Amino acid sequence: MNAEFKYRSMNRSTLRLIVAALAGLMLLGSVGCDESKLSGTNGEQSDNANEERGDENADPTGEVPLDEDPGHGSGDEEGVVIPAGFMNGSWRASAGEQDEPAVYFDTFQDEGDPEISGDFTMGFAIYELYDGETGHLETASFDGETLTVMWNPTTDRDEMLTLKATRVDENTLEGSVTAKRNIELNVPVTLTRVTE
């Protein structure tokens, strides 16, 4: 009796496998039928598909001529690579004898262009309350020697922090952070390039 039970369960398992295999074949067959509506017998696009889309002069191979493919031409301007400017990268402004984090900048600058764009993340050395606040820089520029950055980490629309710093070497600037409304604020900072 045990042998008969094993035989029945093996037949059911085999039957399940066969049903699953047939369902898979049917699924593959239906996908193949959908593709055949768009393709001819040798894989080329049928004339009906071109007419439905209104491509009367479409290339049956599907290739786009180089002169008609925007962004992939052989123009001179495409090979021009603009080198990064001095301020391009990540920077850390620290304050005090303990080198406490004041603000972090991620800045983008093209060589020869004084304009800088980027983002900031506040540390706790300027305003402990705004530690971790992030946002975009309002304005920033670097003329080769002097950096000026303005940003607002506060909820007060009229407030603005300003960093003015002078280049010391390839990875360091020194200056101070002031505030528009809090005129007593004047925090000396050292801005260093983050290389990690």
Report the C-alpha gap between 27 and 90 in whole angstroms. 52
Task: Please check the confidence at residue 171 and state whether its pLDDT lies above 50.
Answer: yes
DSSP letter, residue 195: -
Instruction: For residue range 110-134, list pLDDT tens digits in order.
Output: 999 999 999 999 999 999 999 999 9
Q: Using CA of residue 181, residue 183, residue 189, residue 191, what is the dihedral sign?
A: positive
Could you tell me which of 175, 105, 92, 178 has the C-alpha nearest to residue 136?
105
**Cβ atoms 142, 165 nearer than 8 A:** no
Tokens of 67: 């002169």
**Cβ atoms 129, 147 nearer than 8 A:** no
pLDDT of residue 65: 56
**Cβ atoms 37, 31 nearer than 8 A:** no
Query: How confident is the prediction for the chain on average, in pLDDT?
Result: 79
What's the N-to-C CA distance of the chain in angstroms?
73
Report the percent of the chain where pLDDT is more than 70. Answer: 60
pLDDT of residue 87: 96
pLDDT of residue 196: 74
Report the C-alpha gap between 177 and 125 in whole angstroms. 11
